[in-house]
Amino acid sequence: MPKIEIMPSILAADMGNLEAAVRLCEQAGADQIHLDIMDGVFVPNISMGPAVVAMINRVTDLPLDVHLMLIRPQQHIEAFAKAGADTILIHIEADCDVEDTLQKIRELGCKAGITVNPPTPVDSIFKTLETGLVDEVLVMSVNPGFGGQSYIADAEAKVAEIRRRYPEMLISIDGGIDLETVKPAAAHGANLFVAGTSLFKAPDMKEAITQMRKTAEAVFNSAI
């Protein structure tokens, strides 16, 4: 059975003091760090590049889950792999040969992931999943581009269908995840939870991560 993991999204941190934010995540018991990379084309925002990923990699041993919200991710995967990404996720909606790009991610020594946006039907990724090239599926529960958005419950049906077809798959969910929304997300089969605002705004991140993990484990284990 897939393990429950909590991944703080560094996009919600104080960008002027990222090292402190990463240390906080470590001390709070985070399982991985999630990094949202935006190009201002695929999504209407620009965030960070390989240099920031490399800096974070230098100050932590936590795995880095790097989410490329890029129109042409194939042009950048080598730079992010060299910067220290452990997992690189691309979008099914990106302008690239998805299977070829996933293969190259693996050849660079990283785990490969595929991401699906809220408007995109979940069956758009099934052909790709059948290739065996995917280590993680990321289901977006907000429209990507900005933090702090409200959770879109329609994502749960996508998670459930992926879990039904691929029982051992790592399924992450990103967008509006907090102590309440983690319950239905876990009940439908998500096991990796990306949380930004709810963790970085919490009075005690360690307590927030502990409670989120306990809640997810209880619901996931009873539902799956």
C-alpha to C-alpha distances, 172 to 5, 16, 46, 88, 180, nearest whole angstrom: 9, 27, 22, 13, 16
Q: What is the pLDDT of residue 221?
A: 85
Question: For residue 11, how many other CB atoms are within 10 A of its CB?
Answer: 22
Q: What mean pLDDT do residues 51-72 have?
A: 97
Q: What is the pLDDT of residue 147?
A: 65
- Give the torsion through C-alpha atoms of 21, 27, 32, 37, to 10 deg: 0
Which one of 31, 36, 39, 135 is the catalytic residue? Answer: 36
Assign 65 a pLDDT band (cuts: 50, 70, 90). very high
Q: Is 100 a catalytic residue?
A: no
CA 79/CA 84 separation, integer angstroms: 9
Q: What mean pLDDT do residues 25-46 have?
A: 94
Q: pLDDT above 70 covers what percent of the chain? A: 98
Q: What mean pLDDT do residues 34-48 have?
A: 92
Burial of 172-184, coded b for 16+ CB within 10 Å and e otherwise, reads: bbbbbbbeebbbb
12-16, 64-68, 152-156, range with the lowest pLDDT: 12-16
Q: What is the pLDDT of residue 1?
A: 79
Q: What mean pLDDT do residues 43-54 have?
A: 93
Q: Is 65 a catalytic residue?
A: no
Which one of 31, 65, 174, 178 is the catalytic residue? Answer: 174
Q: Which CATH class is domain 5-223?
A: alpha beta
3-state secondary structure of 35: strand
